[in-house]
């Protein structure tokens, strides 16, 4: 991840080897934060696997904080989905 920005509350993060799967999911999680004024991403070119992910926050909140929180929240959701799936594979008598 590279971060480019002249101001700490408006930063473009460059995510290498990623696509819409992470971009759209992370954008959704970051936009749930009321302190985020803008969040969006674009794929630079179809032949490149890189995302420009931009966050702009209100006030003096550094953009890296909602970025980090969004990543952690997304990991939590993914872990919950994985745990639910694994439990569903257990025989009924072991689920309870």
Pairwise CA distance, residues 84 & 78, whole Å: 10
Domain-by-domain residue ranges, the chain?
10-89
Could you please report the per-residue DSSP string of 21-65? Answer: HHHHHHHHHHHTSTTEEEEEEEES-TTS-EEEEEEEESTT--THH
User: Does the pLDDT of residue 8 top 90, yes or no?
Assistant: no
90: tokens are: 């257990």
User: Does the pLDDT of residue 35 top 80, yes or no?
Assistant: yes
Q: What is the pLDDT of residue 15?
A: 94
Top-confidence residue, 7 or 84: 84
CATH architecture entry for 10-89: 2-Layer Sandwich (3.30)
Pairwise CA distance, residues 67 & 54, whole Å: 9
Q: How far, in Å, are 12, 24, 48, 74, 87 from residue 68 at the CA level? A: 13, 15, 24, 10, 29
């Amino acid at each position: 991840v590279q971060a480019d920005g002249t101001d700490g509350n408006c930063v473009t993060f460059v995510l290498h080897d990623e696509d819409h799967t992470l971009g759209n999911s992370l954008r959704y999680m970051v936009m749930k934060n009321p302190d985020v004024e803008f969040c969006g991403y674009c794929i630079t070119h179809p032949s490149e696997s890189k995302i420009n992910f931009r966050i702009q926050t209100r006030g003096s909140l550094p953009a890296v904080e909602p970025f980090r929180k969004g990543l952690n929240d997304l990991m939590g959701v993914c872990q919950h989905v994985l745990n639910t799936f694994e439990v569903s594979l257990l025989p009924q008598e072991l689920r309870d």
